[in-house]
């Protein structure tokens, strides 16, 4: 019988803390669709200030936050957005910018560190002389941290260069900053400075900082006014959202300061895993709270069986493919949990019966 659960599937699995539950229970609320929820107003004001933008808007999810942002910037059907081929908007958001918004995604290759070569971005911008044939480039999207690259951070210098390129060509820059606080902490750069070049940013509240629900998008007052209307169109206008915003305010106050510890625990786990025979981990690429684990070629194991072995011992891990797994650290994972998970990984690769089963 499993008596201990260590959930490493994602940082979205955290449970609301007692402080969050208390804040939700006592939250002052009103109808936010009508614009009167005071706790939502507090959260949005705080997020706008924190991110160095004029205004902010609570949305139910990061996917909606990105979709609304893209649709505000690409307000004519047939517009085009330049984004990384391996980014979250392109892969994990149901193609919403195209299916709902009529926006064409111009995919450019992501580097291993999550960046896109500046010259490739510029080469992807459509020549206005070809507007009879081509979509019209309106927007560039970046992701920071870059999830599918293992939580790698985009530097402020790189982001500034992309912002300068966007302005040069009359384009807007949107940052999918689902884990932007992780990037800020890892880089040692204030978050408002890190996104200074962006016209809009989406920030997930339920990932790195552990609120139960929601995201916030930030930008100019004009941008947010348009975003509010699109949020309603997409079914994201909710009434007494102060209940959710109250928990998010607690997360902002209490959990941003815990991210450095999450990063240290991720590196500790990565350093231990790279010593496990049969597994391959690039510990040098672990910059924030994610660790990708590859099964070495020739090893008689499969990710599915390792994940099952781990789950039987209370360790929950995300399977990425038949030979790759992902773990994500968060504030509800202790140093003891990391050591326990590491020992279970070591056992999984050492038990010959399990390896034989995997090989068959």
Extents of the domains making up the chain: 18-255, 258-350
E-state strands within the chain: 6-7, 55-59, 79-84, 104-108, 136-143, 172-176, 200-204, 215-219, 279-280, 290-295, 315-316, 318-321, 324-328
Number of helices (H) and strands (E), helices first, in the chain?
A: 15, 13
* All residues at 6 or more sequence positions from 266 whose CB lies less than 8 Å from its CB, including other chains: 151, 286, 288, 289, 290, 291, 327, 329
pLDDT at 159 over 90: yes
At 3 the pLDDT is 84
Q: How far apart are CA 172 and CA 142, in angstroms?
A: 11
At 355 the pLDDT is 55
Q: How far apart are CA 249 and CA 211, in angstroms?
A: 8
At 234 the pLDDT is 97
Q: Are 87 and 141 in contact (CB under 8 A)?
A: yes
Q: How large is the angle between the packed helices 18-25 and 242-254, nearest 10 degrees?
A: 150
0.85 exceeded by pTM: yes
> How far out from the chain centre does Cα 160 lie?
20
- Total residue length of the chain: 360
Instruction: Evaluate whether the domain defined by 18-255 bears CATH number 1.10.10.350.
Output: no
Please report how many Cα atoms fall inside a 13 Å half-sphere around the Cα of residue 183, on the Cβ side: 29
Among 3.40.50.1820, 1.10.3720.10, 3.30.450.90, 3.90.1150.10, name the CATH number for the domain at 258-350: 3.90.1150.10
Averaged pLDDT for residues 103-115: 98
At 353 the pLDDT is 45
């Amino acid at each position: 019988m499993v008596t201990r659960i260590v959930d490493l599937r994602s940082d979205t699995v955290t449970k609301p803390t007692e402080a969050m539950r208390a804040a939700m229970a006592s939250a002052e609320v009103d109808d936010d669709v009508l614009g009167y929820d005071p706790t939502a107003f507090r959260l949005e004001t705080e997020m706008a200030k924190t991110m160095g933008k004029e205004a902010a808007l609570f949305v139910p999810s990061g996917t909606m936050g990105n979709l609304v942002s893209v649709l505000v910037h690409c307000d004519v059907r047939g517009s085009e957005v330049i984004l990384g081929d391996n980014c979250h908007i392109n892969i994990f958001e149901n193609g919403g910018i195209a299916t709902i918004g009529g926006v064409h995604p111009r995919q450019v290759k992501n580097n291993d560190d999550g960046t896109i070569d500046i010259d490739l971005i510029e080469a992807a911008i459509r020549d206005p002389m070809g507007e009879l044939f081509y979509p019209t480039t309106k927007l560039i999207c970046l992701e920071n941290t870059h999830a599918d690259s293992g939580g790698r951070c985009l530097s402020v210098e790189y982001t500034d260069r992309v912002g300068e390129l966007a302005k040069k060509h009359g384009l807007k820059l949107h940052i999918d900053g689902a884990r932007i606080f992780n990037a800020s902490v890892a880089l040692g750069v204030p978050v408002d400075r890190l996104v200074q070049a962006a016209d809009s940013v989406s920030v997930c509240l339920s990932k790195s900082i552990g609120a139960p629900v929601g995201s916030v998008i930030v930008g100019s007052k004009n941008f947010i006014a348009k975003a509010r209307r699109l949020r309603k169109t997409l079914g994201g206008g909710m009434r007494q959202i102060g209940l959710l915003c109250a928990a998010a305010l607690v997360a902002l106050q209490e959990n941003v300061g815990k991210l450095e510890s999450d990063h240290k625990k991720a590196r500790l786990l990565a350093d231990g895993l790279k010593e496990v025979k049969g597994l391959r981990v690039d510990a040098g690429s672990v910059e924030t709270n994610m660790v990708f684990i590859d099964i070495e070629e020739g090893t008689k194991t499969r990710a599915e069986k390792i994940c099952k072995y781990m789950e039987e011992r209370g360790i929950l891990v995300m399977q990425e493919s038949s030979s790759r797994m992902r773990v994500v650290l968060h504030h509800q994972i202790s140093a003891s949990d990391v050591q326990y998970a590491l020992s279970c990984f070591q056992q999984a690769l050492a038990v010959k019966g399990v390896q034989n089963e995997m090989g068959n």
